[in-house]
Structure 1
Amino acid sequence: MLITLAGEDLRRGRRARLAVVLGSLAAFGPLTIDMYLPAMPGMAHDLHTSAPLVQLTLTVFVVGLAAGQVIAGPLSDAWGRRRPLLLGLALYVAGSLWCAFAPDVGWLIAGRAVQSLGAATGVVLSRAIVRDLFEGTAMTRFFSTLMLVNGAAPILAPVVGGQLLTVATWRAVFLVLAGFGTVLSVAVVLALPESLPAQRRRSGFRDTLRAFRTLGTDRHYLRHVLAAALMFAAVFAYISGSSFVLQEVYGLSAQQYSLVFGGNGLGIVLFGQLNGLLVGRVAHEHTLLRGALGVAVTGAASVAVAAVARLPLPVLLVSLFVVVSMLGVVLANATSLALAGHGASAGAASSLQGLLQFLVAGVAASAMSLAGQASAVPMAATMLVCAAAALGVLTLARQPVSARSAPPSSP
């Protein structure tokens, strides 16, 4: 049987297949965002609209990604993981096709909303399934393993998107995303058995409300969820602003930009894997999390100095790499620490994490867009504020490490 408390009984081949499928589901967000980033300036021209309206398609997707998780997570606690997941994948494919054939920016925004609700199921349920199968350090290591696949999305997506633009229009990007959703639907049917047995499912709406009330009063959970959300917002400011900043302010081509973006994604993968090697052997999750946030704040401060002083582009790019690379370490440790004590309500806990993560990111991106894209300063300021706030939340709300060492509740 696939389910195990510690995750150590999974055979290596099955564990690898599980990592590929769950990592691909978790990658829905970055993949669907990053692949069309190089096309955003061209989309504004082709659809005869403004850059802020094209950026709104990104904000709408993020908000839908947050809202969809609040629906899919608790629903999966009652129905199991597979049925909501397959329904979400069908929505994702339909939304991608809608975007591909959108005649104007209004239809594109609507298609992105549908697409985001489908993508949300993959993002939230990938975390819930990991919590179903793993506990403790084994869970943290598996989340780090997912960064091999999840981190590949920001590496490959903009490169693929940039190369597609050399032979086709931006609409081809959404056709490719529809194909990805179709392939992943087949993979879920064939390779992802149900991880939540009927006897562990929640019976109704009251149970869901009780779970959210418990989560909302758990300082340990909220502390790590907010730290992850604010760090993600710092990186999301880079994601939503760098396409215009690096191409229009610093003069990079779509292909050059995609390579820079992919290089930063490689940093997420490398440091995510380093985290998996270190956790439980060299350092505790708390130590690695605080260290990564400290490095991120330092990198964000360097980004701000480079933007304000108009330092050479390599200085800005190195600083951005430092900040973005820390995301793999922060998300793996913060997610594991947040979900550790909530095995009985993994779907609800994962959904609330996703809601806060993407809402905070959406608000940060919207605030940044109001300042315009005439320079890198708005992007840099947003990154620094969010990274510093993440470290502040983790530090100011600090609880004794012994609270984490207590064994988590049984899944």
Structure 2
Amino acid sequence: MSNTAEQVVSLPDESVTAKTSIWLMSILGALMAFTSLSTDIYLPAMPGMARELHGNVELTVTGFLIGFMIAQLIWGPISDHVGRRIPLFIGMVLFVIGSIGCASSHSMTGIVFWRVFQALGACTGPMLARAMIRDLFSRTEGARMLSTLVIIMAIAPIAGPLLGGQIIRFSDWHSIFWLLAIIGSLMFISLAWLSETLAPEKRTKASFQSVFTNYTRLLKNVAFMKYTLCVTLYYVAAYAFITGSPAVYISYFGVEAQYYGWLFAVNILGVVAISFVNRTLVRRFSLQRLLRVSSLISALAMLAMGIAVRMDVGGLYLMLGLIFIFFSMNGVIAASATAAALDEVPEIAGSASALIGSLQYGSGIISSLLLAFFGNQTPWTMTWIMLLFTCGSALVVRIKTIEK
């Protein structure tokens, strides 16, 4: 594939060759994985970091998500204006600098600062991967491709905690961030083989400042916001687990840090399996119906977990089973909600993808702050956050709008 910025790839749904498709989806899958990798790889080290640095380690997740949320709102309009490749290259450089800053830090304040900086670059990966899928594919095929990306990107949340757990056995948490800097550098090199997907004639011609008015337009679009809020509220619950599970599993239930990754990885296997099934489901059922069913299943699983935790029954094993059900539904919710939302506003897919990503991943700020202020080293805080916001996701998707 050409490595020039002006070379624009055009891949209709039926004309993507197997070789091109595999290469393209591999790179986009890696870009989608950046957020998960940046957070999940150091999860096993969080209890140790909290003891060493004497602070709320949950704030390192908060800092990353604040940077991630704000930066996407800037990169989205830029990508609609200049194309997808240039922001990706700049983003990888920022990610590497931020990772080096984290690795060199010796205070909680320093890590939180560099985590914000790291996120300024990391956010370009998943945001622009989604926009590039919308550039290339139609509504239904886009949902199938996003499901494929979820399968590919699942390597990160499976491998991340496992790798992080092994690293801290032989080294310390600083080494984890040095590894992220190396991965970011390799990703920068791989972008040279990724062609531009947004043709010059489809780029926003308005002034850069006026492009930000697109966000007002998106926020007023009820159908777009319904799908966006569905995945956003779901991810508040997901981040409650991601941020809170190290303390629950390691500190409360006594799971050793090097084994935490295996318990985390089980959930991702569920996501991969359902994502694979969703590739077929999107051709048989409407995205609206898929979202209603999957969000309801997640809500029922969290209701059962809430009852079990309050009654102190089932212990770790019941919790593992119910969280597996909850996480598996991500294979439907993330892909279907994103595809449906972007299809409402195809002419500003970059800005729309930025807003989706900003709200989706920025939602973790809510759960990480709630855990930092209300957490008490028991499963209850994590559980009620997951229950509350999963129910919200199931309710918002039932708002009546005119479907396409």
How would you bin the TM-score normalised by the shorter chain?
over 0.9
Shift of 1:162: 0.6
Q: Is the 8 A contact 2:226 2:396 kept in 1?
A: yes
CA distance in 1, matches of 2:366, 2:347: 31
One-letter amino acid matched to 2:327: V
How is 1:245-256 mapped onto 2 (pairs within 5 angstroms)? 245-256=248-259
CA distance in 2, matches of 1:368, 1:378: 7
Shift of 1:23: 1.0
Residue 26 of structure 2 is aligned with which of 17, 20, 24?
A: 20
Q: Which residue of 2 aligns with 1:134?
A: 137
CA distance in 2, matches of 1:93, 1:249: 34
CA distance in 1, matches of 2:392, 2:153: 25
Aligned partner of residue 279 in structure 1, secondary structure: helix
Q: Which residue of 2 aligns with 1:148?
A: 151
Q: Deviations over 1:247-288 (max 9, x none)?
A: 1111001122110001111111111111112211x3221111
What's the TM-score once normalised by structure 1's chain length? 0.93
Residue 32 of structure 1 is aligned with which of 31, 38, 56?
A: 38
CA distance in 2, matches of 1:99, 1:116: 11
Query: Residues 144 and 335 from structure 1, CA distance in 2 versus in 1: closer, same or farther, beyond 3 angstroms?
Result: same
Q: Which residue of 2 aligns with 1:291?
A: 293
CA distance in 1, matches of 2:308, 2:187: 41
- When structure 1 is superposed on structure 2, of 9-18 and 203-212 the one drifting more is 203-212
What's the TM-score once normalised by structure 2's chain length? 0.95
Shift of 1:210: 3.9
Question: Which residues of structure 2 form unaligned runs of 5+?
Answer: 1-7
How is 1:221-240 mapped onto 2 (pairs within 5 angstroms)? 221-240=224-243
CA distance in 1, matches of 2:89, 2:183: 14
Shift of 1:207: 4.5
One-letter amino acid matched to 1:221: F
Shift of 1:206: 5.2
Residue 341 of structure 2 is aligned with which of 338, 343, 348?
A: 338
Q: Which residue of 2 aligns with 1:197?
A: 199
Q: Is the 8 A contact 1:229 1:361 kept in 2?
A: no
CA distance in 2, matches of 1:70, 1:29: 16
Residue 370 of structure 1 is aligned with which of 368, 373, 382?
A: 373
Residue 304 of structure 2 is aligned with which of 302, 306, 310?
A: 302
Residue 218 of structure 1 is aligned with which of 216, 221, 226?
A: 221
Aligned partner of residue 102 in structure 1, secondary structure: coil
Query: Residues 373 and 17 from structure 1, CA distance in 2 versus in 1: closer, same or farther, beyond 3 angstroms?
Result: farther
Matched, 1:10 2:16: yes
Q: Is the 8 A contact 1:245 1:373 kept in 2?
A: no
CA distance in 1, matches of 2:173, 2:216: 44
Shift of 1:98: 0.8
One-letter amino acid matched to 1:10: V
Shift of 1:383: 0.3
Q: Deviations over 1:197-246 (max 9, x none)?
A: 11111122354134223212211100000000001111110000000011
Q: Is the 8 A contact 1:227 1:394 kept in 2?
A: yes
CA distance in 2, matches of 1:358, 1:172: 25
Aligned partner of residue 183 in structure 1, secondary structure: helix
Aligned partner of residue 272 in structure 1, secondary structure: helix
RMSD between aligned residues: 1.3
Query: Residues 341 and 193 from structure 1, CA distance in 2 versus in 1: closer, same or farther, beyond 3 angstroms?
Result: same
One-letter amino acid matched to 1:13: K
- Number of residues paired by the alignment? 395
Shift of 1:9: 1.2
Aligned partner of residue 344 in structure 2, secondary structure: coil
Q: Is the 8 A contact 2:64 2:119 kept in 1?
A: yes
Q: Is the 8 A contact 2:59 2:368 kept in 1?
A: no
How is 1:52-67 mapped onto 2 (pairs within 5 angstroms)? 52=56, 54-67=57-70
Q: Deviations over 1:159-183 (max 9, x none)?
A: 1111111111111111111111111
Residue 163 of structure 2 is aligned with which of 160, 180, 188?
A: 160
CA distance in 2, matches of 1:103, 1:371: 26
CA distance in 2, matches of 1:113, 1:71: 15
**Deviation beyond 6 Å, 4+ runs, structure 1:** none
Matched, 1:261 2:264: yes
Question: Which residues of structure 1 form unaligned runs of 5+?
Answer: 405-411
- When structure 1 is superposed on structure 2, of 66-75 and 209-218 the one drifting more is 209-218
Q: Which residue of 2 aligns with 1:407?
A: none
Q: Is the 8 A contact 1:95 1:114 kept in 2?
A: yes
Q: Which residue of 1 aligns with 2:316?
A: 313
Q: Is the 8 A contact 1:233 1:383 kept in 2?
A: yes
Aligned partner of residue 340 in structure 1, secondary structure: helix
Shift of 1:367: 1.7
